[in-house]
Structure 1
C-alpha cells in the first residue's frame, strides 16, 4: 500500500458535516434542557446601585434570575487563562458588557425576552478606554516569568545603545503603525450545555483544549477535576477565542446544578465579541538602520498594546518576528502594555506574529524604497543564519527558497519600478511582498491506539477538530504508521476524558500528534506481536518475537500470516491497545523551530474612489513535511484570507464610553468570496527531521502572518501612498 502522507485525501468528516450529522455544542441532545441568557452592563466602569428583576421573574417560562444581589456561587479561574474577575460575586463593573445577570427559562426565546426586562442603576466612574491616553504603558512580563525576556537588547561591541546604533547608520527608516481591536467571530457562536449526573458534570462546549477547559470549569464551580468532562466533538472555529473557559460556561454549570436540570447558554454575536476575548488595540514603532548596500545595522521595535484590568493576552508582537527574521548587529525590542478598563483580550490567529509582521514588513518595504532596492534582494541580504535575539540555530530554515520560488510563480520580475505608474483604465495596479514566520512547537503529547477485532484502528486523543482537518490528519498518519487503509481508521477526538493529545492552539496539533501517533503505533505493533506468540492456537505461538514482522495490518513469520483481527479472534480479545510512551529526551534547547513563508500580492486601487481590490495572491511556505495536502492548503489559504480581512476590512474600535463600535456581522466586516481572488499556495517538499521524527511543523496560523503587509505594500506600489494603520480605508487612498 502506498503512503497517504502528503496526498490529497478527502476529509474523513466531510460527509458528517454536509449532511448535518456532525454534532456541535447545541446539537447534543439532553433531557428537558433549560435555557440561559446573560444580562450585561451598560457602563464601562463603576458600581451597581440596584437591579430591578421583578418583571423578568414574572415573565412567561422564567425559572430563575440571578444577579450580584441574588448570586450563584462561582470561584476564580486559575491564573493565566482568560479573565481574572468572577461575575455576579460583587457589584463592581469593570468594563462595558460585563455579565451582571443570568435569566434561565424554559426556552431560549423566553430567557432572551425576560433578560431584556431587567434594568439596572449605577454609580458611574471614569474609565480608561483610550490606548493613546495610557501611553507609554508598562513593560510586558511576557506569557511566562520563567521564560526569556520579552524585551531583549543585543548590541555590537562598543555600541552604547540602540539609539546610538541608529544615529551611526547611513540610512534610517522610522515608522509608526496603529491597529484597532479585532474580533475572532468564529462561525459557531460561543455556548455551553451543562449536565449534572450524580455529582459529575458533563459540559458540551467548543473548546480548543478540552482538558484545560474541564480543569478551569471545575475550579470555577468548586468541583474536583475528575468530576468534570468536556466534550468538543466538532467545533465551528476557534482562532484562539475558545482556549479559555469563559464565564458563560461556569454560569451554565452552576445554574444547572442549582436547578437540577441541564442548562444551555448561547451568547449572542455581540456578547461573544465582548465576553470571549479580542485582539488588542496596538501601536508599534519600528526603526531600521542600514548601510547603503542594504545591510541592516540596527533594528528597534517598540510596541504598546491594550491590557485590560480584567486580564487577557499580553501582546508581544516583536518577539517572534523582529527577534527572528533578519540578521543585525544591534537589536532592541521594547514591548509594553497599557492598562485599560475594557473586556478581556485574548490570542487571535497569529496573535503576536500577525500584527508584528505587519509593522516589520511595512518598515522593510519602506527601507527598500528608500534604498532603491528590490524588496526581495533586501531580505536576502539580511537573511539570518541564527536567531538574532537568542543565537539559536534552526531545525531548518528555507525562507530564501520561498522568496525565489514565490517570485518565479508570481512573476515578480515584471513588477513596477516606480510606484503609482501602472494604470489600467480607472485602476492603479501595484504589487507587494512580505515574509511570514511562526514558531513551531514540539511539546510531548499522548494518544491511545487500539486494534479491534472488527479490523478497525481507533486513535483517541483529547485534541478537538476546529474545522482545521484534524480528523483527516490523524487518520492519514495512523493509516501510514500501521499500513491500513484510511477507511479502517477511526479518530476519536475532542473529549477531555481521552489521552492528552495536543492543544488545538499555536498551530501545535500536527507537530505534536504526528510523532505521538507514530510512537504509539510502534508500541502497538510490539503489543500485538507479544500477543501473537503468547496466545494458544495462534500460528505464532511460542515463537521468538524477533523473528516476526508486522506488515499492513498483519503479523508474518515464515510461511504464516495472520491479520490483527484474526489474532484477536483467536485470543478472544475485542482489542489490544497502546499509549504513546514518554519521549526519550527533551527537545534540544539550542535549536529554534519556525515555519516560514513568502507572500506576493497584486492589487488594484480605483483612482477616483480609493477602492482597493486584490487581483491575485501567491504564497510559498516552508513547513516541513505536509501530512494532508487538502487540509494544509485549506489552512494556508484560510490564513491568507484572515490576513486580507485584517488588511482591508476588520476593525472593532472601542468608543470613549467603552462600547465596541461593531457588535454584529453587519458592522464588523470580514472577507467574503467577492473580496478574495483565487489564491495560489504551495510549499517546499522536504521533511524537518531535526524538529521531530515525523518531520511536520504546524501551519494553521502561518498564512495569516505577513499577508496584511503584502497587501499594504502592494497598495503603496499602486498609489505611492504609504498606509500605516489597519485596516486600510478608502479615505486614506484618496489624494
Structure 2
C-alpha cells in the first residue's frame, strides 16, 4: 500500500492545473453568452468593445474564428462555437473577447450589444412531455425492448395477471457536474504546432478534436492535462475555452488563456438531463417478479446530444423477471447540452426502480432485502450470458448485519421530535473496458516509467498505474514513475465509465510482459551479460524481483542495461474489449443502507447513517477505493436532498452558481462507511478489477426515499426531496 501519489502536490498547491500555466506575452479570453433561448443573432455591435484599452480581438459569428466541426469516435459529431447565428439555448457561447488582462476582456465583453430575432422557446420539461419522441439516436439512446414469456401477448397482460402490482411515476431533476475546476484552457503556438493545457478526461481525444477543428495534422497538436480538478463526465469532450483559445492564439500570434466563470460553467458546458420515469411491477404473492415495465422520458437539447438511458441502465439488467418491457423517449427542449454524468442512466434510473421495488415490498408485506434477494438475476432478462461474477446477496447479508437491519420496523421509530427510518436499495454499474495502450520504460538506474495519455480526474489512476506496474514488473512501487495526461504518450483512452483501472491496468500487464521479453532477449544477445547461457531462475522463472536469472547468477534490469550501454528499454502493450463480451455479462454490484431522521414538525430530513457494501472485483488500492465510494455516496445524498437546476420560462438557469445550486457541506454528511467484498473478476480483464467510481452513487437516493417512507409513511417520488413534499394538507 502506498500513499496517493498526487495527494501532496494537490494539497500543497504545487499541482499545476490548466490555468496555472503562464507564458510571456499571454493574453486572456472571455466568453460571451446568449440571453435568449431560441432564435437567431440579428446583429452584434462590437465597436465599443474593440476600442476598449487592451483589447486584442473580438470574435463573433459575424466575424468568426475559423473552426471546423470535429467528429469524435466516442461522442460523434461535436459542436464548435461562433460558426453560425442560430441560438438554441440561453447561455450559448456567441462571442469571444481577447485582451491583455482578464479584467479588460470581461469589461469589454459587457459592452457588446446583441440583437436577436427571437422565436418561442420550449424550456419546460413538463410541458415538453407532449412532444416526446423515440430515443433511437444519440449516445446511449436505445430503442424499446420487450421480453415476454411464451404465451404472453403484451406486458399489460402480464401485469394484469400478476397477483400484486405497483404502478408509479418518479421524477429526477437536471444536474450540473459543478467540478471545482472550471472548464479552461491555455493555448500556445510555436514552430512545432499547438500545445493546449486543458482539464479533460483524456488527452488524445481533445488533441484529435482540436486538430480537426483547426484543420491541421494531429501530430501538430499537443494536449497536456496532468491534473484535472474534477470531471464526472462533464469534461469528456473538448471545451469551448479550448477551441476558442487555440483559434484565437493562432489568430493573434500570442498565447491565450481562457476560463469559464462559475455561472458560465452551468450553460456553456453540459448537464445531466431531467427525467420522468413510470415503473410498473407485477409479482406473485411470494414476491417473485412476473412483469417489469419501465418507461422513461429524458430532457435533451434540440441537438439531441444525449439521452439519459434510465430504463436501459436499470430494469434491463437488475432483476430476474419473466416479462420485461422498457422504453426510452426524448423530450427536445431549448436547454444547454446534456451529457454523461456519474453513473449516467443508473443513478437516476435506480431512484425510480429501487423506489418501486420498495413500494412492492410494502404491498407484499415483505422485507425489502428478502424481495431483492428472491429476484436476484443470474443473467440479464432474456439473455443467456450469465454474470461473470456476482455476490450481491453477500453484500446485502453483510450490510444488514453491520447496519442493524433486523431492528427495522415497518413504522420506523420515534426519537424525541425526530421520526427515524431505515431504507435500502440495490446498486449496479456495468463492468466495462475500453481500448488502451500503455508504454513501459525500464531505466538503467533500476527505475521504470509507466505511461499512458489517459487522465486522472481525481480517481487515483496515477497511483493505480504505479501499483499495477510494480506488480507486473515484480519491483517495488517506489521504483515506478507513472505518467498521465499528455497526448504525446501512448493512447490511454478516456477516464470515464469506471473503466480506467481495468483498461489501463490490463494494458500495463501486457506492456510489462513485452518489455521483460525484450530485456531477456537483450541480456542473452551476442555480447550480452548472459550471452550463450541458460537464463533461468531456480523455480524456472527467468525474471523475478526485477532481476534476470541465469545459471544461478542474476542481474537487475538496470545492471543489464548498463552492461549493454543502454540508458533505457521501452515497450508498449495494448488491450481492448474482445470475445469475453460474447461469453459473459459484466457488472459491479452493491447494497446501499440508509438511516434518516425527519423532524416531526419542520419536516427537515437529515441523513444520519450510510453504509455501502460493494462487489467490484479485485481492489487495487483499498484506500483510494474507499475514497471513491464515499465520494459517490455523498453525491447520492446531494442528488436526493440538494441538487437540481431551476429553469426559468425564458431558459435561464435561476440558480447557476454555488450559492443557489446546492451541494452538501460537511454538516450535511453523517456517519458514513463502506465495505468491499473482494472477488477478482479475471473474466473481464487480467487485472481482475471492475469499476467502482460510479456504482457508489447508484441507489443512494432511493435508499434515502425508502428510509423517509419507513419513518413517515409518506412516499416521495421526486428528487431533490423538499420540505413541502412532507407537509400534510
1:269/1:664 contact within 8 Å kept = yes
1:15 and 2:8 correspond: yes
1:497 and 2:488 correspond: yes
Give the 3-state SS of the residue equivalent to 1:104 in structure 2: strand
- Structure 1: 5+ residue stretches without partners: 1-6
Superposed CA offset, 1:334-364 (max 9, x none): 1010111111111110111100111000000
Q: 1:535 to 1:114 in 2, by over 3 A?
A: farther
CA distance in 2, matches of 1:722, 1:584: 42
Give the 3-state SS of the residue equivalent to 2:272 in structure 1: coil
1:82/1:344 contact within 8 Å kept = no
Q: Which residue of 1 aligns with 2:134?
A: 139
1:202 to 191, 195, 202: 195
Q: Which residue of 1 aligns with 2:347?
A: 354
1:82/1:245 contact within 8 Å kept = no
CA distance in 1, matches of 2:575, 2:350: 36
CA distance in 2, matches of 1:655, 1:481: 55
Q: 1:299 to 1:250 in 2, by over 3 A?
A: same
Give the 3-state SS of the residue equivalent to 1:580 in structure 2: strand
Give the 3-state SS of the residue equivalent to 2:384 in structure 1: coil
Give the 3-state SS of the residue equivalent to 1:711 in structure 2: helix
1:428/1:606 contact within 8 Å kept = yes
Shift of 1:463: 1.0
Shift of 1:46: 1.0
Give the 3-state SS of the residue equivalent to 2:176 in structure 1: coil
Shift of 1:194: 0.9
Q: Which residue of 2 aligns with 1:94?
A: 88
CA distance in 1, matches of 2:191, 2:629: 45
Give the 3-state SS of the residue equivalent to 1:359 in structure 2: helix
User: Bigger CA drift: 630-639 or 440-449?
Assistant: 440-449
1:181/1:654 contact within 8 Å kept = no
1:444 to 435, 449, 465: 435
Q: Which residue of 2 aligns with 1:287?
A: 280
1:568 and 2:558 correspond: no
Shift of 1:116: 1.3
1:165/1:298 contact within 8 Å kept = yes
Q: 1:722 to 1:82 in 2, by over 3 A?
A: farther
1:675 and 2:668 correspond: yes
**TM-score (normalised: structure 2):** 0.97
Shift of 1:84: 5.0
Q: 1:101 to 1:144 in 2, by over 3 A?
A: closer
Q: 1:246 to 1:82 in 2, by over 3 A?
A: farther
Q: 1:697 to 1:70 in 2, by over 3 A?
A: same
Shift of 1:108: 1.1
1:227 and 2:220 correspond: yes
1:116 and 2:106 correspond: no
Shift of 1:173: 0.5
Computed over aligned residues only, the root mean square deviation of the Cα atoms, in angstroms, reads: 1.7
Q: Which residue of 1 aligns with 2:531?
A: 541
User: Bigger CA drift: 723-732 or 128-137?
Assistant: 128-137
2:183/2:239 contact within 8 Å kept = no
Q: Which residue of 2 aligns with 1:129?
A: 123
Which residues of 2 match residues 546-561 of structure 1 at below 5 A? 549-561=542-554
Q: Which residue of 2 aligns with 1:3?
A: none
**TM-score (normalised: structure 1):** 0.96
User: Bigger CA drift: 471-480 or 684-693?
Assistant: 684-693
Superposed CA offset, 1:393-448 (max 9, x none): 111111111111111111110012224xx111111100000000001113332100
1:325 and 2:318 correspond: yes
Q: 1:585 to 1:88 in 2, by over 3 A?
A: closer
Q: Which residue of 1 aligns with 2:331?
A: 338
User: Bigger CA drift: 117-126 or 356-365?
Assistant: 117-126
Q: 1:615 to 1:582 in 2, by over 3 A?
A: closer
Give the 3-state SS of the residue equivalent to 1:447 in structure 2: strand
CA distance in 2, matches of 1:362, 1:157: 29
User: Bigger CA drift: 506-515 or 303-312?
Assistant: 303-312
Q: How many residues align?
A: 723
1:107 to 101, 124, 132: 101
CA distance in 2, matches of 1:144, 1:674: 37
1:726 and 2:716 correspond: no
1:153/1:333 contact within 8 Å kept = yes
CA distance in 1, matches of 2:408, 2:290: 28
Shift of 1:18: 2.0
2:686 to 685, 693, 706: 693
CA distance in 2, matches of 1:545, 1:394: 42
Q: Which residue of 1 aligns with 2:459?
A: 468
1:717 to 700, 710, 715: 710
2:503/2:576 contact within 8 Å kept = no
Give the 3-state SS of the residue equivalent to 1:135 in structure 2: helix
Give the 3-state SS of the residue equivalent to 1:681 in structure 2: strand
1:457 and 2:448 correspond: yes
1:82/1:311 contact within 8 Å kept = no
2:533/2:551 contact within 8 Å kept = no
CA distance in 2, matches of 1:311, 1:329: 33
Give the 3-state SS of the residue equivalent to 1:597 in structure 2: strand
CA distance in 2, matches of 1:713, 1:243: 33
CA distance in 2, matches of 1:607, 1:732: 13
CA distance in 2, matches of 1:70, 1:172: 61
Superposed CA offset, 1:7-63 (max 9, x none): 4x3111222112222111011232321100011111111122222222211222111
Q: 1:142 to 1:326 in 2, by over 3 A?
A: farther
CA distance in 1, matches of 2:99, 2:304: 31
Superposed CA offset, 1:520-545 (max 9, x none): 1111111111111115261x122244
Superposed CA offset, 1:660-696 (max 9, x none): 1211000001111111113110110221122222111
User: Bigger CA drift: 334-343 or 382-391?
Assistant: 382-391
1:617 to 599, 610, 614: 610
User: Bigger CA drift: 295-304 or 686-695?
Assistant: 686-695
CA distance in 1, matches of 2:581, 2:669: 41
Shift of 1:546: 5.7
- Structure 2: 5+ residue stretches without partners: none
1:442/1:587 contact within 8 Å kept = no
1:85/1:310 contact within 8 Å kept = no
